[in-house]
């Protein structure tokens, strides 16, 4: 039997979930893997605070040095979240030759090179399965099951908060603000929901996932980001009439030497596999040249689902102490010169605007679209009982920059009251 002592940095939702799994399933892990995992120290801000999980008082500490300088601790699991002091603590643990397991998508997306190089230099591991999609083993699948594939596309729902909000808006015809308030009460959304609803959380995760899938460093600055705060019940209702479902999607595609990476609200066909993913669940659709289409589905957050991924990483770290696995980009060539990041992708667009109801308006707007090479697939005009009416255009595939130029010109026309929304459409 091999004994491994582990320390936790932080003891919030995911930390307590991980602790529960180790305590409750430790004997099963021993039977299956032959290792005994013991939590020796837990770093917290306040050692006297009452906690939802009962722990021995001598496990708690507010001094990081008690963990970093303890030679018995082999693995450090980080649950602090955010950029600092998480980065500092992870780096300090690695430099003290301790393997690190983290669920921190922001620190990995922003500081991957620095942290992985420190792990390599010190001969220890850096594991981050829980940083993307909670309990779904997506990183393991990409790294260890799809090596024989050239992955050309990733499209996924990787933020449970926004998926919950959009599900409720769609099924109950409610406004964004109302559903957000409910999600906060239920604990699906943070008191400050910016990271989720503005797409930052999904941006960090897509940076990590597309880097692994495309074997090229895709930084957060390479990812286009747009949140769901401007989505209205009208957008969703009009989309339904057209056979669409609205999701906040993380999309990455590779065409030759070009990579596009983007997070934004997206209409997809109601019969697309991702369209049926409801509430706080996550799902990731992957396309490989050999395997074809795959979709992984499950809980993308929560104490036990995310804790499951953390425990898996801890077990792997203990089993592979002498040979840790690093990304294929660990030689420092994180961004090949020949790779280009494309911000002028091609897709279909749903465009809702309010115009003055009079003859010639449609022709004038269609003419501007045509000027920029944008072809119209369908037009829906709603209501004739007011001088102002909503019009919905759905385009054929068009370039992102062509749409932006057309919209900039159209919104200045005197017959256009406002541009309600521009939403991309994927199939």
Residue positions annotated with a catalytic role: 205
Q: Is the peptide bond before 94 cis (omega within 30 degrees of 0)?
A: no
Are 346 and 60 contacting, i.e. CB atoms less than 8 angstroms apart? no
What's the distance, CA 115 to chain centroid? Answer: 20
Q: What is the DSSP string of 364-403?
A: HHHHHHHHTTPPEEEEEE--SSSSEEEEEEEESSEEHHHH
- If you count DSSP H runs as helices and E runs as strands, how many of each does the chain have, helices first? 13, 18
Sequence-distant (≥ 6) Cβ neighbours of residue 197 within 8 angstroms: 161, 162, 165, 180, 189, 227, 228, 229
Are 235 and 320 contacting, i.e. CB atoms less than 8 angstroms apart? no
For CA atoms 178, 284, 249, 234, the dihedral sign is negative
Q: How far apart are CA 363 and CA 12, in angstroms?
A: 58
Query: Cβ of 267: how many Cβ atoms within 10 Å?
Result: 28
Are 338 and 404 contacting, i.e. CB atoms less than 8 angstroms apart? no
Identify the helix (H) or strand (E) that includes residue 237.
helix 233-241
- Per-residue CA distances from 28 to 31, 54, 129, 260 (Å): 5, 21, 21, 43
Looking at the DSSP assignment, which residues form a beta bridge with residue 5? 38, 73
Q: What is the DSSP letter of 275?
A: G
Q: How far apart are CA 389 and CA 368, in angstroms?
A: 19
Closest CA to 82 of 44, 119, 64, 108: 108
Q: How far apart are CA 216 and CA 158, in angstroms?
A: 20
């Amino acid at each position: 039997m091999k004994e491994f002592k582990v320390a936790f940095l932080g003891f919030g939702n995911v930390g307590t979930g991980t602790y529960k799994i180790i305590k409750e399933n430790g004997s099963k892990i021993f039977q299956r893997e032959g290792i005994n995992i013991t939590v020796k120290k837990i770093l917290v801000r306040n050692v006297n605070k009452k906690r939802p999980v009962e722990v021995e008082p001598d496990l708690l500490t507010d001094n990081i040095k008690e963990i970093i300088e303890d030679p018995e601790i082999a693995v450090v699991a980080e649950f602090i979240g955010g950029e600092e002091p998480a980065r500092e603590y992870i780096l300090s643990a690695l430099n003290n030759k301790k393997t690190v397991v983290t669920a921190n998508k922001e620190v990995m997306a922003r500081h991957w090179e620095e942290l992985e190089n420190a792990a390599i230099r010190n001969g220890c591991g850096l594991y981050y399965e829980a940083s993307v999609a909670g309990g779904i083993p997506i990183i393991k699948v990409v790294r260890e099951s799809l090596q024989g594939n050239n992955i050309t596309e990733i499209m996924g729902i990787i933020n449970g908060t926004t998926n919950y909000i959009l599900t409720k808006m769609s099924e109950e015809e409610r406004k964004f603000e109302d559903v957000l308030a409910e999600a906060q009460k239920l604990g699906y959304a943070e008191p400050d929901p910016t990271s989720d609803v503005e797409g930052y959380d999904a941006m960090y995760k897509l940076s990590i996932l597309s880097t692994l899938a495309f074997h090229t460093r895709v930084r957060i600055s390479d990812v286009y980001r747009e949140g769901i705060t401007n989505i209205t019940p009208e957008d969703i209702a009009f989309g339904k009439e057209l056979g669409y479902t609205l999701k906040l999607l993380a999309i990455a595609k590779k065409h030759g030497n070009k990579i596009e990476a983007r997070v934004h609200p997206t209409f997809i066909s109601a019969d697309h596999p991702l369209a049926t993913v409801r509430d706080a669940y996550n799902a990731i659709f992957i396309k490989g040249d050999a395997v074809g289409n795959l979709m992984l589905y499950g809980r993308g957050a929560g104490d036990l689902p995310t804790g499951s991924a953390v425990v898996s990483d801890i077990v792997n770290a203990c089993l592979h102490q002498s040979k840790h696995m690093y990304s294929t980009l660990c030689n420092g060539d994180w961004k090949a010169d020949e790779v280009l990041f494309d911000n002028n992708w091609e897709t279909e667009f749903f465009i809702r605007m309010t115009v003055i109801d009079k003859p010639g308006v449609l022709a004038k707007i269609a003419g501007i679209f045509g000027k920029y090479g944008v072809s119209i697939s369908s037009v829906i005009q709603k209501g004739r009982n007011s001088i102002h009416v909503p019009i919905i255009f759905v385009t054929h595939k068009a370039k992102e920059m062509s749409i932006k130029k057309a919209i900039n010109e159209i919104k200045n026309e005197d017959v256009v009251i406002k541009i309600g929304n521009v939403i991309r459409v994927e199939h």
